[in-house]
Structure 1
Amino acid sequence: MAKKIIKVAGVAIIDQDKNKVLAGKRNADRLVGGMWEFPGGKIEKGETPQEAAKRELKEEFHDEVQIGPQLGETVSYEYDFGIVKLTVFFAKLLTNNFDLVAHSEVEWLSADEVQKLNWTPADAPLVKELARTNFRDIKF
């Protein structure tokens, strides 16, 4: 039987002044709990990946973001529960509430610090791309 395909949109929230990116640690009671990820979630029917990323940030942090360019290519990763197709966009915070719903903690990291965390398998390939990025060069 074919595995379910789950399309997911995430955001690499950056602070261009400090040249840092935000990582979120998934709550222990969730799938791939305790691992780090770019915040985001499932793309709903009729949504673009960018719309889904904005909606998910509103739901998970109660924050508004401005979506920028895509980070790398869409990643496809096969988990036990299905195949995740993850598209991540750079984003800037427009508000700063950080009401954590799906995450136990968040951390701001420089590009050379991002690879030190235990990232979800779907996010990991994008972390390598992110590590080569100067966040001040991202255009919104």
Structure 2
Amino acid sequence: MAKKIIRVAGVAIIDQKENKVLAGKRNADRLVGGMWEFPGGKIEKGETPQEAAKRELEEEFHDEVKIGPQLGKTVSYEYDFGIVELTVFFAKLLTHNFDLIAHSKVEWLSADQVANLKWVPADAPLVKELAKTSFKDINF
């Protein structure tokens, strides 16, 4: 039987002044718990990936974001539970609540620091892409 395809949208929240990106550490009780990721979640029927990314941030952090361009290409990764198709967008925070629902902590990291974390497998190829990006050049 074919595995379920799970479409997911995430955000690489950046601070252009500090040239840093926000990484979230998944709660230990969740799938791939304890690993780092770009915050986000499943794309619901009728939603664009950008709409899903914005909604997920509001649900998970109680924060509003402005969605920017896509980071790299959509990644397809096969887990035991299904195939995740992950699309990540650059974003900037409009509010700063950080009411963590799905994450045990968040950290602001420079592009070269992100490679030092243990990332969720679907996110890992985008971390490499992120390291080559100058955050100051992203237009919103």
Matched, 1:67 2:67: yes
For 2:82, the aligned partner's letter is G
Q: Supply the distance in 2 between the matched residues of 1:108 and 1:25 (Cα, whole angstroms).
A: 12
Structure 1 position 22, deviation (Å): 0.2
Structure 1 position 112, deviation (Å): 0.6
4+ aligned runs moved over 2 Å, structure 1: none
Measured against aligned partners, the alpha-carbon deviations of 1:93-116 in whole angstroms (never above 9, x if no partner) come to 000000000000000000110100
The aligned counterpart of 2:9 is 9
The aligned counterpart of 1:45 is 45
The aligned counterpart of 1:27 is 27
Kindly report the root-mean-square deviation, in angstroms, between the aligned alpha carbons of the 2 structures: 0.2
The aligned counterpart of 1:80 is 80
TM-score of the two chains, using structure 2 as the length reference: 1.00
The aligned counterpart of 2:99 is 99
Measured against aligned partners, the alpha-carbon deviations of 1:63-118 in whole angstroms (never above 9, x if no partner) come to 00000000000000000000000000000000000000000000000011010000
Q: Supply the distance in 1 between the matched residues of 2:72 and 2:16 (Cα, whole angstroms).
A: 18
Q: Supply the distance in 2 between the matched residues of 1:112 and 1:2 (Cα, whole angstroms).
A: 38
Structure 1 position 134, deviation (Å): 0.8
TM-score of the two chains, using structure 1 as the length reference: 1.00
Structure 1 position 23, deviation (Å): 0.1
Partner of 2:120, secondary structure, is: coil
Share of identical aligned residues, percent? 86
Structure 1 segments unaligned to the other structure (5+ residues): none
Structure 2 segments unaligned to the other structure (5+ residues): none
